[in-house]
Chains A and B, each alone.
Chain A
Amino acid sequence: MIHYLDNSATTPLCNEAIDRMTECMRGEFGNPSSLHLLGVKAEIRLQKCREEIANRLYCDKGEIYFTSCGSESNNTAIFGAVKAKRRDGKRIVTTAIEHPSVMRCMDELEKDGFEIIRLMPDQSGNIPVDEIKKAITTDTILVSMMAVNNETGVLLPIEEIKRAVRLSGSTALVHIDAVQGFGKIEINPQKIGADLLSVSAHKIHGPKGIAALYVKKGVRILPLIHGGGQEKGLRSGTESTLLAEGFAAAVTALPPTRVASEKAAALNQLLRDRLSQLGSVWINSPENAIPYILNFSVEGIRSETMLHHLENMEIFVSSGSACAKGEKSHVLKAMGLTDSLIDSAIRVSISRFTTEEDILALVGGIEDGINKLVRSKR
């Protein structure tokens, strides 16, 4: 039996998604933009999917735009907002612990002459609220911040952004990258005050290849992909009804966040307790991290070594984030962790399907590794 504990990288499809996608694959194949009946049927399906996703985000279905992945949602939000607002200023506020699909966009904009403010986390990994307030000025055009960090699970103070924007008197748009948070914490863009918000299907047991961008009614951003004018012109390209079905099914199958996170919290506590008994394990995730993600370091054993050791026991975890494939974590670096802790960091991420058995297998595997593996000398 495999113990999959890398759910922040991706998740297995839930049965609901498999069933609806299978049904859809065998059914009509129409292009939602076609005038004839097959097209209409596909469009009806697509609109229903959009509505299911909108329901979970407490918004109108007209505010949901389909894209191909979380990275595309983030790119569209950032470049789309900047294109629409470039006359209002040159200042953009973000953090130093964003996902690469936000960070790299910011690097590009910086080369184009925009002023990028990257807020640093404190030692616990939290972004200080005061810093946000200080950073947003009248000429700020965009604030982009993640809801939950993908490496440590830390919650960012996203509800503070809108207030800070209003206080500063700027017209900045607020973008929230909620890819890691969606389904795990309550995400309500209107309540947060988000103008733009990214979510992705494959992090919540839906298929890879589809994601969505929430764009608040009345907010105007410009498209990156031009063509047939699908998704109200914001994202041209024939929509995949199949993937939308999988996405919507996965969203609808999500249990209420509170129930799920109580279960996750119990597993997280179990893991923290057992790890602390092992000695030589350091917890890197702050206290206020969501229970679904736990980052820790096993002193003296490199991440990759431990990861492969666990993999031999069919236990799957991550060293940092899957997107960086072995590069040193920028998040842990920004938190000021020592190199030896960064080099030995392990990220465990659980889902609603994780069991106590999985956690105990992991603890056993780590203990075995501590006893068997040769410590590096650094």
Chain B
Amino acid sequence: MKEIILIKNGEIVLKGLNRSSFEDVMIKNLRRSLKQFGSTEIKKAQSTIYIMPGEDFDLDRALERVKKVFGIAGFSRALECEKSIESIVTEGVPYLADVLSEVRTFKVEAKRADKRFPMKSPEIAAEMGGKLLEEYPHLKVDVKNPQLVVNVEIRDFGAYVHAGQIQGAGGMPTGTGGKAAILISGGIDSPVAAYMMAKRGIELTAIHFASPPYTSLRAEMKVKELLSKVAEFCGPIKMGIVPFTEIQEQISQNCPEEYFTLIMRRYMMKIANRLAEQNGCHALITGESVGQVASQTIHALAVTDAVCEMPVFRPCIGMDKEEIVSVSRKIDTFDISVQPYEDCCTVFTPKHPKTRPTISAVEEAETPLDHDKLIDEAIKNTRFEWIK
């Protein structure tokens, strides 16, 4: 018995002449994510991608992995047979024993892409359905509302029998949307923002600000753990760790307290902007959501944006905390995010932060600082590593 994975592309099918280049990226991503499970051959035909396992391939674990590859609308685990009705029926009927034991009603849908096959689709369906009823007497046919749809597909390379489609991760293949840098703190929102943009095909670089001894190595380990969860979807992420202690101390010693967080955010943006540029990124991503905290009012966001040259994407901007939490649970980052370690945003929090700042007032407030020197120093000492 030979099983394969049949992959149906998502939004890519809407692309015009460049569709094939999108598909090629997706195949490359699939190859990278499935390599660990053994040898495979991956090919495409008629907007379907075929994953054909080698002898040593771990199909069960690979299927779980395919669920996390962006650009896939749905996929099926299918039995491959010869293109003859005898082969389809004799191999297909026992193949379906497990899934059919869990249902009472079914129907068969047949698709004949290869028109050289001698039987028409309804004839194939009738033949298969008849044999299934004979073999599994507990079943009834229900064409309107079946519990299970058995699919028979006659395609270029062979005939396939499967029990329906499994939902994929959706979105666009990673890498087709360009490159952007996510500012990640360790909270609930930033990993969600990273995931949402990665889902649109964006390749991620991550930037994390560390302020030892105000923040711990554990906070940094937590961020790496979060990124590796996102990397399961979008592949390895390059992470830059920016030493931020000096800047935070300077701010808290020289600037008015109510502006601490705003000035800090502006520094983060300026540094992120430069690092992003150096790493070939064309946009920044943050996990901000309007009104969540004092630095996330419209006025405050305008003040932080004023120092950025690149566009800043904030996919969580209109989401409630509840909604963000539900995505974080889905991508398995929630339990990591809620570990209680100090992060760079919680240590120097002012008692009464400005919620309606103006750009001129903030610029005034930060004049005592030697911006260029502080930023150059932080960028020079940034360490990079790859998170898988």
Contact = CB atoms under 8 A, between A and B. Distances in A.
B348 A305 contact: no
A376 interface: yes
B253 interface: yes
A311 B351 CA distance: 28
Interface string A281-312: 00000000000000000000010111111011
Nearest to B351: A377
Given A376-B347, A377-B350, A378-B351, A305 B252 contact: no
B249 A374 contact: yes
Given A309-B213, A311-B213, A312-B212, A304 B350 contact: no
A210 B341 CA distance: 29
B348 A308 contact: no
A373 interface: yes
B386 interface: no
B214 interface: yes
A309 B213 CA distance: 5
A304 B257 contact: no
Contacts of A326: 339-342
A167 to B, nearest CB: 43
A374 B350 CA distance: 13
Nearest to A326: B340
A114 to B, nearest CB: 30
A300 to B, nearest CB: 12
B216 interface: yes
A232 interface: no
A339 interface: no
B348 A376 contact: yes
Size bracket, chain A contacts: 10 to 19
A378 B349 CA distance: 9
B355 to A, nearest CB: 17
Contacts of B253: 374
A327 interface: yes
A36 interface: no
A191 interface: no
Nearest to A311: B213
Contact of A373 (B213, B215, B339): B213
A325 interface: yes
A306 B215 CA distance: 10
A374 B342 contact: no
A365 to B, nearest CB: 11
B214 A308 contact: yes
Contact of B340 (A307, A327, A374): A327
A305 B213 contact: yes
A374 B348 contact: yes
Could you say which of A302, A304, A311, A325 has the most chain B C-beta atoms within 10 Å of its C-beta?
A: A304
Interface in B75-99: none
Contacts of B350: 377
Nearest to B248: A374
Contact of A305 (B214, B340, B349): B214
A302 B212 contact: no
A137 to B, nearest CB: 38
A308 B351 contact: no
B347 A305 contact: yes
A15 B215 CA distance: 35
Could you say which of B216, B253, B350 has the most chain A C-beta atoms within 10 Å of its C-beta?
A: B216
A325 B342 CA distance: 11
A134 B288 CA distance: 54
Interface in A321-364: 325-327
Contact of A304 (B248, B252, B341, B351): B341
Interface string A144-160: 00000000000000000
A326 B340 CA distance: 6
Contacts of A307: 213, 216
Interface residues of B, number: 19
Interface in B337-383: 339-342, 347-351
A136 B246 CA distance: 57
A378 B260 CA distance: 14
A310 to B, nearest CB: 8
Interface in B287-319: none
A338 to B, nearest CB: 16
A150 B339 CA distance: 22
A114 B351 CA distance: 43
A377 B341 contact: no
B267 to A, nearest CB: 16
Nearest to B250: A374
A374 B250 CA distance: 10
A283 B339 CA distance: 28
Contacts of B340: 325-327
A374 B213 CA distance: 11
Contacts of A378: 351
B213 A377 contact: no
A367 to B, nearest CB: 15
A376 B253 CA distance: 11
A317 to B, nearest CB: 12
A312 B214 CA distance: 12
A376 B248 CA distance: 12
Contacts of A376: 347-349
Contact of A312 (B213, B248, B252, B347): B213
Given A376-B347, A376-B348, A302 B342 contact: yes
A376 B349 CA distance: 8
A286 B29 CA distance: 62
Interface string A366-378: 0000000110111
Given A312-B212, A377-B350, A305 B257 contact: no
Contact of A308 (B212, B257, B339, B349): B212
A308 B213 contact: yes
Nearest to A305: B214
Contacts of B351: 377-378
Given A326-B340, A377-B257, A378-B351, A304 B249 contact: no
A309 B215 CA distance: 10
B115 to A, nearest CB: 65
Given A311-B213, A312-B213, A373-B213, A305 B342 contact: yes
B342 A304 contact: yes
Contacts of A377: 257, 349-351
Contacts of B257: 377
A302 B213 CA distance: 10
Interface in B222-277: 248-249, 252-253, 257
Given A326-B340, A376-B347, 12 more contacts: A302-B342, A304-B216, A305-B214, A308-B212, A308-B216, A325-B340, A326-B339, A326-B341, A373-B214, A374-B248, A374-B348, A377-B257
23 contacts: A304-B216, A304-B341, A304-B342, A305-B214, A305-B347, A306-B213, A307-B213, A307-B216, A308-B212, A308-B214, A308-B216, A309-B213, A325-B339, A325-B340, A326-B339, A326-B341, A373-B213, A374-B249, A374-B253, A374-B348, A376-B347, A377-B257, A377-B349
Q: Which 4 A-B pairs have the closest CB atoms?
A: A308-B213, A309-B213, A326-B340, A304-B342
